[in-house]
Amino acid sequence: MTELLVLALAGGLGAAGRYLLSRTVVVNLLGALGAGCMAGWVNALPASIPAPAWASIVTLGFLGAFTTYSTWSLEGVEDFRQGNPLQAVVKLAGTLTAGVALAGMGWWLTALIA
């Protein structure tokens, strides 16, 4: 119960951070890098050590809410509707490709350090 409340609070903070930055591409790329770092770090933990609770608070709560797929989709569609199909494709495919690459980079970096 307490963990759910903390998770909800972390999600609220993530959403507030996204609202304040109000740049969907930037929050999504930052969040992808952060989530990659978290996943790499948790993965590098010895099997005997369970992942701490705060790891899922950060990953599922804060970063999950900080980043957004629905707004990313809708913003791409808006570019199409305003007659910028190239910008839409670059934004959608480019952000996803860069996000996956950054998640991989974060994973690799923390695995290297951990």
Partner 1 sequence: MSAPSNLTGDFQPPPGLLGNLASVMAGGAVGTLLRVSGHALRPQAPGTFPWTTLAENLLGAFLLGWLAAWLLARTVGTSSPEDINAHRLRLFLTTGVLGSFTTFSALAVEGIELVALAPGTGFAYLGTSLALGPLLAVAGLRVGGRTP
The only residue of 23, 45, 53, 73 in contact with partner 1, by rule CB under 8 A: 73
By the rule CB under 8 A, 74 interacts with partner 1: yes
By the rule CB under 8 A, 104 interacts with partner 1: yes
The only residue of 50, 53, 65, 111 in contact with partner 1, by rule CB under 8 A: 65
DSSP characters for 47-81?
Answer: TTSPPPHHHHIIIIIIIHHHS-SHHHHHHHHHHHH
The single-letter DSSP state of residue 83 is: T
By the rule CB under 8 A, 109 interacts with partner 1: no
By the rule CB under 8 A, 64 interacts with partner 1: yes
Residues 6 or more apart whose CB falls under 8 angstroms from that of 19 comprise: none
